[in-house]
Structure 1
């Protein structure tokens, strides 16, 4: 049987000062640990490239940006150490975005679930299409959006985050996400979104790198403790993923998929 946790890819292209980091997984762009590590490392590596002025974070495909954690990997976790290590993958990606010296533009072409909402929230400026509805589904499988929570709350506020986290089976529209501050602009099509990304990328690539770095530092003020905070949250998720409730919920979901 094919090991789906080993599938997927992260690709990097750099052109005219703009680095595009693209990820893909055949299961709706879900993220197993291997892809999370590659994504975090790529963001960190690109941040050290002097020739790069800004980063565009995107995924492949049409209607799904990211389905969040890989259920195939979640169901394989059998101990606390492995559980925490997996959820640290999301923590490391968020912290890589936070620590990057480059502004990060998010391109969200479709639905985002759980960790996918966390990725969008970790971007400094996020474009989306009208198909980019969002959902924090973790509570429905007995976990909770603990690791991505600080990033999501930073963008949409505690009230909207609580709404999403508690009503874990509810999809929230792209327009709702724009009103709450997760998305900056919502477009009718990916083509129109890409035109806007190209325009902003051009403008930023001709801006002062030093000024953009200083601006990013101001925008992320108050998150200096996230290395420790997200590690603590990863430990909570790593413990809960071992519960009978979560194991049964994931198996039920996979049976229906």
Structure 2
């Protein structure tokens, strides 16, 4: 696979939304926009009863934001727009009236951890370690941190944020509540996801909607909050410190 994509497949009420990018499933703005649109549309599609969110390939789940786009930011507005991409995906997942199962087959970094945290039920392999690497390039996990803190708590979030060079094992992520279950390999993971999705598709859609409201209670202000956080990151990426750090990625 060499071409980036976001695609959806609907089978028997189960919508599988898959994204892929040849650079370790990093997400540039156009893929984030397409992912937001696809999740939103699946949420209002009456033929869809449950959503499985996954990435292509068998290694990295998501390497976070596209560094190629990051180094090209030259003004505050484009910086805010860039970081709003992950904000929009998280808000689409939050507002979606269907349960979203996250399939995390490999490492998740930065925004990838945010997407995993925004899933309603996340399942992973033992290779799905996580890292918030933002401080290593001069910014911080400001946009994704509300979703991550909601799942694993402030203490675990602060550990990951401060120790930005370290990958935290999948077992640690499970202990903290990010992953519901961790499997030995992708085959076992996929079997378990299919079983769960087949059960969920038989749930009362009205009950599922009310449960989503319950799970995400108190987050109605996130449209504004995440936009504010995107502006912070957009400003920081223009700082001399970050610009100097990013030179090595050009």
Query: Could you state the TM-score of these two structures normalised by the residue count of structure 2?
Result: 0.98
- What is aligned with 2:143? 147
Q: Deviations over 1:7-60 (max 9, x none)?
A: 611000000000000000000000000000000011001111001001000000
CA distance in 1, matches of 2:103, 2:244: 34
CA distance in 1, matches of 2:114, 2:247: 24
- What is aligned with 2:60? 64
- What is aligned with 1:12? 8
- What is aligned with 1:187? 183
CA distance in 2, matches of 1:164, 1:136: 6
* Aligned equivalent of 2:25, options 29, 52, 67: 29
CA distance in 2, matches of 1:59, 1:246: 29
Query: Which 5+ residue runs of structure 1 have no aligned equivalent?
Result: none
- What is aligned with 2:125? 129
2:49 pairs with 1:53: yes
Q: Deviations over 1:69-91 (max 9, x none)?
A: 00000001000000000100000
CA distance in 2, matches of 1:227, 1:111: 27
CA distance in 2, matches of 1:147, 1:64: 21
- Deviation at residue 244 of structure 1 after TM alignment: 2.1
Q: Which has the higher mean CA deviation after the structures are superposed, 218-227 or 240-249? A: 240-249
Query: Which 5+ residue runs of structure 2 have no aligned equivalent?
Result: none
Secondary structure of the 1:64 match is: coil
